Amino acid sequence: MNSHYRVVVIGGGVVGTSVLYHLAKMGWTDVCLIERKVLTAGSSWHAAGGFHALNADPNIASLQAYTIDLLSEIEKESGQSVGMHMTGGLTLAGTPDRWEWLQSAYRTFQSIGIEDVRLVTPEEATELCPIMSPHGILGGMWADREGYIDTTGTVHAYAGAAKKYGASVIENNRVLELNQTADGWEVVTEKGTINCEHVVNAAGLWAKQVGRMAGIELPVSPLNHHYLISDTIPEVAALDRELPLVVDLEGFTYMRQDQKGILLGIYEIDHEHWMVDGAPWEYGFELQKEDPDRIEKELTLGFERYPALQEVGVKTWVNGAFTFSPDGNPLVGPVRGKPGYWCACAVMAGFLQGGGVGKSLAEWMIHGEPEADVFGMDVARYGDYAQNKRFIKETTGQFYTRRFVMTYPNEQLPAGRPLRMSPAYTDMTNAGCRWGASYGLEVPLYFAPDASFKEKPTLKRPNTHQIVAEECKAVREAVGLLDISGFSRFEVSGAGAEAWLDRIMASRLPGPGRARLAPMLSPEGKLKGDLTVFNWGDGTWWIMGSYYLREWHMRWFHDHMNADVEIRDLSDAIVGFSLAGPNSREALEKLTEGPIADLPFMGCGGFDIGLYHCKVGRLSVAGELGYEIHCKASEHIGLRRLLLAAGADLGIREYGFNALLSLRLEKSFGIWNAEFTQGYTPAQTGMDRWIAWDKEDFVGREAALAERAGDGPAQVIAMLEVAEGDADASGFEPVWQEGRRVGFVTSGGYGHTLGKSYALAMVDRACARIGTALSVHIVGQERDARVIAPSPYDPEGLAMRGNHAALKDKKIVEAAE
Q: What is the DSSP string of 247-265?
A: EETTTTEEEEEETTEEEEE
Q: How far apart are CA 264 and CA 568, in angstroms?
A: 51
Residue 814 confidence (pLDDT) above 60: no
Q: What is the pLDDT of residues 503-517, one digit of tens each?
A: 999 999 999 999 999
Phi, psi of 44 (to 5 degrees): -60, -40
Q: What is the pLDDT of residue 817?
A: 54
Cite the beta strand spans of 484-640 per DSSP E: 487-493, 514-521, 527-535, 541-546, 566-569, 574-580, 604-609, 612-617, 626-632
Q: What is the pLDDT of residue 812?
A: 56
Q: How far apart are CA 415 and CA 273, in angstroms?
A: 15
Q: How far apart are CA 14 and CA 40, in angstroms?
A: 7
Q: What is the pLDDT of residue 752?
A: 98
Band of residue 646 on the pLDDT scale cut at 50, 70, 90: very high
What would the mean pLDDT of 626-645 be, rounded to a whole number? 98
DSSP run (H or E) holding 333: strand 331-334
Q: How far apart are CA 268 and CA 603, in angstroms?
A: 55
The residues pairing with 273 across neighbouring beta strands, listed in sequence order, are 223
Q: What is the pLDDT of residue 113?
A: 81
The residues pairing with 51 across neighbouring beta strands, listed in sequence order, are 147
Q: Are 36 and 210 in contact (CB under 8 A)?
A: no
Q: What is the pLDDT of residue 654?
A: 98
Q: What is the pLDDT of residues 165-202, one digit of tens each?
A: 999 999 999 999 999 999 999 999 999 999 999 999 99
CATH of domain 4-375: 3.50.50.60
Per DSSP, 109 falls in state: H
* Helices 350-367/151-164 angle, 10° precision: 20
Q: What is the pLDDT of residue 816?
A: 53
Amino acid identity at 91: T
Count other C-beta atoms under 10 Å from residue 595's C-beta.
10
What would the mean pLDDT of 78-87 be, rounded to a whole number? 97
Q: How far apart are CA 177 and CA 634, in angstroms?
A: 43
Q: What is the pLDDT of residue 810?
A: 59
Cite the beta strand spans of 696-737 per DSSP E: 715-722, 734-737
Q: How far apart are CA 673 and CA 730, in angstroms?
A: 12
Q: What is the pLDDT of residues 204-257, one digit of tens each?
A: 999 999 999 999 999 999 999 999 999 999 999 999 999 999 999 999 999 999
Residue 160 confidence (pLDDT) above 70: yes
CA 684 to chain centre: 20
Residue 404 confidence (pLDDT) above 70: yes
Q: What is the pLDDT of residues 659-710, one digit of tens each?
A: 999 999 999 999 999 999 999 999 999 999 999 999 999 999 999 999 999 9
Mean pLDDT value across the chain = 95
Residue 332 confidence (pLDDT) above 80: yes
Provide Rg for the chain, Cα atoms. 28
Kindly give, in sequence order, each residue whose CB lies less than 8 Å from that of residue 272, ignoring residues fewer than 6 positions away: 223, 224, 291, 294
Q: What is the pLDDT of residue 59?
A: 78
Q: How far apart are CA 54 and CA 106, in angstroms?
A: 9
Q: What is the pLDDT of residue 57?
A: 74
Q: What is the pLDDT of residue 789?
A: 98
Band of residue 638 on the pLDDT scale cut at 50, 70, 90: very high
The burial class, CB within 10 Å (0-12 / 13-18 / 19+), for 421 is: middle
Largest CA distance in the chain: 88
Q: What is the pLDDT of residue 394?
A: 98
Query: Which of 706, 665, 664, 658 lies closest to 682, judged by CA?
Result: 706
Q: What is the pLDDT of residue 593?
A: 80
Q: Are 223 and 396 in contact (CB under 8 A)?
A: yes
Residue 116 confidence (pLDDT) above 90: no
Q: Give the pairing of strands 479-483 and 652-654.
A: parallel
Q: How far is CA 680 from CA 31, 255, 526, in A?
A: 31, 38, 6
Band of residue 110 on the pLDDT scale cut at 50, 70, 90: confident
For the whole model, what pTM was predicted? 0.95
Q: What is the pLDDT of residues 140-157, one digit of tens each?
A: 999 998 999 999 999 999
